[in-house]
Chain A
Amino acid sequence: MLQRMVKVQVLGPKKDLESIVDTLYQVGTIHLEDASRSHEQGGIILQKVEAKEADTIAANLSKIEGIQLVLPKKPPDLTKQTEIIQILSQKGQESILERAQEVIHELEAKTRDLITRKTDLEFTIANLSRYQTVIEKILPIEGQIPALEGFEITIILIQGEFEGILELIKEKLTRITHNQCELISAPIDEDTIATVVVFNRKYSSDVHTFLYSQNVNELRLPNEYLNRPLNEILLLNEERRVAAVKEVLEVEEELRELSLTWQDEVAVLARLLKDRHEEIKVFNKFGQTDYTFVMLGWIPRKFLDSTKKTLHERYGDSVVINELPASPEMMDEAPTFYDNPAFMKPFEYLLSAISHPKYREIDPTPIFAVFFPLFFGLIVGDIAYGFIILGIALLLKKKFGERLDWIHPLMNLMIIASFPTIIFGYIFGEFFGDFGENMGWLHPLEIMGVTWHRLDALIPMLVLSIAIGVFHIILGLSLGIINQWTKMRCTKYVCECRKHICEKAGMIIVIVSILILLGAIIQIIPEILMYPGIVMLIIALALIIYGGGVIASIEVISLISNILSYARIMAIGTSSVILALVANQFGGMMEVAIVGVIVAALIHLMNILLKMFVASLHSFRLHIVEFAPKFSEGGGKLYNPFGKGDRG
């Protein structure tokens, strides 16, 4: 059910605005609307409240979060954090910003220097490691590199697939250096070739410019490496690398020490500033006069008294919450607040994938909570499968429920759906397909003269599926009429709603008249009823054409198609049984018993996983494609209270 909402106007003295906003933020029940835009003709025009502190808080929050990001993570000391929160709360809101600025002053420069040093050092280590690899590889060709006075050495790296380009580079360099260069190559790994270029130093600038312009990956060794033997360079390089690694460790240690001292306070300040920023962000939704402020919003009826009580206890009669008279036009704008029992929450989650109902519409969640498990059970319908699905859902919920948001509601959905699966499994006499029946443990039940063995009773299953479809669609259309009736209270919608009601009523009569005609044709009802059936069909078509025009009469075909679509319950259910039979027969064909059991178990497991997904998807689809459009307009805005926690 959707919770009743009340539109409220909060009035109070402007001097207490910040404190009142803070109280409302802590209570977390009001869904705010822009009060500065709302004024009646001839009334006082309200000015927007400007939040002066917002920019300062945002800037400080960003700095604090930056520091928090740099400090290495350690397990939080919750007792210390609570103490800090208490101290800051006692001193008041201003002290949070003051303390944040002190902490920023103390830590910002220090952490920035440390992290810059660390990044530079890590970059240096990466470069030194790269030199190491290349120099080790070109060490064997050192003898070929001429040691000439006034010559410079550089190393270029070429990808193996572009080896041919070396010839072009050599040709060009020869021209630039007037034949005073030499290129010696050695492979570094499977993909890269290192080429040592020795050239006259007086052409240094031209050579480097050329290499840079051609986008050649040049490994420029540091100046102190030049004119040294490669062995010496290797040793020097390693020394520098070790020194850099040591320095990184020292920097990390310094950061760790800072984190030990400051992390908890920084975390608390980040949280408090974030809260404060959230509070202040909404200030421009408030209206003000010279001495008072006005805020508008929605509060669920069940939270109204507690909110009023809290404000009264803190501010006495200086703050007033006025309940605005609920006109249909106003209620058309009310936010949607689901207020269903806990077991229906997973269905709300599923519905949130499409669109939320408007406030005045019927909440589809309870209907969804009845029919989704029913469809799932009818499709899967196997005792063993039901228990296994229950086990898998409980296991996944326990293992991943905390870490992944979506696992929790989806597994709860599977847990609920597993019970009708077990019940229908008992009715269909299925335990791992026909395994239970073959063992003599159970048999399909006989209800209304039909033995509900799903393979033998294909036609009864088809009729049952279609009958469920007829009921479901008529229910949807009836809810649609109720929704339109409610919407009609809003005068601007009267004409439109009247037509919709006629159209939906016409659709219901079409279904009933088609059933009567079919019944008369196959003679399960007296043939004479065919004439009232025809009259009903004509009346229904007239209503539909009045409601939605000639185009709407074509909708009758899609209505029939929607009902026939419920045949999928039988069709997918049958495929599930057949796959279970295949598993049993395939397992039985194996000569070694244990192999047969394993093969059958694997196919059954595959069938279960497939059916968990397919049965959910099709049950969901029947609701959102066939059922929901018959009554739900959607497009409702969800109740989003101003506060720390989401009560919705």
Chain B
Amino acid sequence: MDFGMPIGAGIAFGLGALGAGIAMSRIGAAGAGTVAEKPELFGYMLILLAIPETLAIFGFVIAAMILIM
């Protein structure tokens, strides 16, 4: 059995998700502090928190394409 493709897909998704996780942890920590002081900035905090999520989505798309195509 060829393990190359599943491993490649796993790396693509895993690293994407890891990167998103690291970025979101830092943004989330800073954002929580911001919202504690200024609750009206919750909307902006959500936007900043949502930005790195794209990395994980890209990882998933690449993984899916490796496996399917």
Residues of chain A at the chain B interface (Cβ within 8 Å): 353-355, 458-459, 462, 561, 564-565, 567-568, 570-572, 574, 617-618, 620-621, 624-625
The listed residue (B44, B46, B54) touching A568 by CB distance below 8 A is B54
Enumerate B43-57 residues with CB–CB distance to A below 8 Å. 43-44, 46-47, 50-51, 53-54, 57
Contact A625 B51 (CB under 8 A): yes
Contact A621 B43 (CB under 8 A): no
- Chain A residues with Cβ under 8 A from B69's Cβ? 459
Contact A571 B57 (CB under 8 A): yes
Provide the bound-state CA to CA distance between A354 and B46, in Å.
Answer: 9
> Interface residues of B, CB < 8 Å — how many?
17
Provide the bound-state CA to CA distance between A570 and B68, in Å.
Answer: 14
Contact B61 A354 (CB under 8 A): no
For A564, A565, A570, A571, the residue with the greatest tally of chain B CB atoms inside 10 Å of its CB is A571
Provide the bound-state CA to CA distance between A567 and B53, in Å.
Answer: 12
Provide the bound-state CA to CA distance between A353 and B61, in Å.
Answer: 30
Provide the bound-state CA to CA distance between A378 and B47, in Å.
Answer: 22
Enumerate B15-58 residues with CB–CB distance to A below 8 Å. 42-44, 46-47, 50-51, 53-54, 57-58
Contact B53 A621 (CB under 8 A): yes
Question: Is B64 in contact with chain A by the CB < 8 A criterion?
Answer: yes
The listed residue (A567, A617, A618, A624) touching B61 by CB distance below 8 A is A567
- Chain A residues with Cβ under 8 A from B44's Cβ? 354
Contact A625 B50 (CB under 8 A): yes
Contact B61 A462 (CB under 8 A): yes
Can you give 22 A-B contacts (C-beta < 8 A)?
A: A353-B42, A354-B43, A458-B64, A459-B68, A462-B65, A564-B58, A565-B57, A567-B57, A567-B58, A567-B61, A568-B54, A568-B57, A571-B57, A571-B61, A571-B64, A574-B64, A618-B53, A621-B53, A624-B46, A624-B50, A625-B50, A625-B51
- Given the contacts A353-B42, A458-B68, A574-B64, A625 and B47 also touching, CB distance less than 8 Å: yes
- Chain A residues with Cβ under 8 A from B42's Cβ? 353
Contact B50 A617 (CB under 8 A): yes
Identify the closest chain B residue to A572 (Cβ).
Answer: B57
- Chain A residues with Cβ under 8 A from B60's Cβ? 571
- Chain A residues with Cβ under 8 A from B61's Cβ? 462, 564, 567, 570-571
Provide the bound-state CA to CA distance between A504 and B57, in Å.
Answer: 26
Provide the bound-state CA to CA distance between A621 and B69, in Å.
Answer: 29
Count contacts between A and B, CB distance < 8 Å: 50
Measured CB to CB, the closest approach of chain A to B42, in angstroms, equals: 7
- Known A-B contacts: A564-B58, A572-B57. Give 13 more (CB < 8 A): A458-B64, A459-B68, A462-B61, A462-B65, A561-B54, A567-B61, A568-B53, A571-B60, A574-B64, A617-B50, A618-B53, A624-B43, A625-B51
Provide the bound-state CA to CA distance between A570 and B63, in Å.
Answer: 13
Contact B47 A624 (CB under 8 A): yes
Residues of chain B at the chain A interface (Cβ within 8 Å): 42-44, 46-47, 50-51, 53-54, 57-58, 60-61, 64-65, 68-69
Measured CB to CB, the closest approach of chain B to A558, in angstroms, equals: 10
Identify the closest chain A residue to B67 (Cβ).
Answer: A458
- Chain B residues with Cβ under 8 A from A567's Cβ? 57-58, 61
For B44, B46, B68, the residue with the greatest tally of chain A CB atoms inside 10 Å of its CB is B46
- Given the contacts A458-B64, A574-B64, A354 and B54 also touching, CB distance less than 8 Å: no
Identify the closest chain A residue to B58 (Cβ).
Answer: A564
Provide the bound-state CA to CA distance between A436 and B24, in Å.
Answer: 38
Contact B47 A565 (CB under 8 A): no
Provide the bound-state CA to CA distance between A458 and B50, in Å.
Answer: 24
Measured CB to CB, the closest approach of chain A to B28, in angstroms, equals: 14
- Given the contacts A458-B64, A459-B68, A353 and B57 also touching, CB distance less than 8 Å: no
- Chain B residues with Cβ under 8 A from A570's Cβ? 61
For B44, B51, B57, the residue with the greatest tally of chain A CB atoms inside 10 Å of its CB is B57
- Chain A residues with Cβ under 8 A from B54's Cβ? 561, 564-565, 568
3 closest Cβ contacts across the A-B interface? Answer: A353-B43, A354-B43, A621-B50
Provide the bound-state CA to CA distance between A621 and B68, in Å.
Answer: 28
Identify the closest chain B residue to A350 (Cβ).
Answer: B43
Identify the closest chain B residue to A353 (Cβ).
Answer: B43
Provide the bound-state CA to CA distance between A567 and B54, in Å.
Answer: 9
Identify the closest chain B residue to A564 (Cβ).
Answer: B58
Provide the bound-state CA to CA distance between A105 and B6, in Å.
Answer: 83
Measured CB to CB, the closest approach of chain A to B17, in angstroms, equals: 11
Contact B58 A353 (CB under 8 A): no
Provide the bound-state CA to CA distance between A459 and B67, in Å.
Answer: 11
Measured CB to CB, the closest approach of chain A to B64, in angstroms, equals: 6
- Chain B residues with Cβ under 8 A from A568's Cβ? 53-54, 57
Measured CB to CB, the closest approach of chain A to B61, in angstroms, equals: 5
Provide the bound-state CA to CA distance between A617 and B61, in Å.
Answer: 19
- Chain B residues with Cβ under 8 A from A621's Cβ? 46-47, 50, 53
Provide the bound-state CA to CA distance between A571 and B65, in Å.
Answer: 12
Provide the bound-state CA to CA distance between A377 and B57, in Å.
Answer: 19
Provide the bound-state CA to CA distance between A458 and B60, in Å.
Answer: 12
- Chain A residues with Cβ under 8 A from B47's Cβ? 354, 621, 624-625
For B44, B53, B61, B65, the residue with the greatest tally of chain A CB atoms inside 10 Å of its CB is B61
Provide the bound-state CA to CA distance between A561 and B61, in Å.
Answer: 13
Identify the closest chain B residue to A355 (Cβ).
Answer: B43
Identify the closest chain A residue to B61 (Cβ).
Answer: A567
Provide the bound-state CA to CA distance between A458 and B44, in Å.
Answer: 33
Identify the closest chain B residue to A622 (Cβ).
Answer: B50
Provide the bound-state CA to CA distance between A413 and B22, in Å.
Answer: 32
- Chain A residues with Cβ under 8 A from B65's Cβ? 459, 462
Identify the closest chain B residue to A354 (Cβ).
Answer: B43
- Chain B residues with Cβ under 8 A from A458's Cβ? 64, 68
The listed residue (A353, A462, A571) touching B46 by CB distance below 8 A is A353
Identify the closest chain A residue to B64 (Cβ).
Answer: A458
Measured CB to CB, the closest approach of chain B to A414, in angstroms, equals: 18
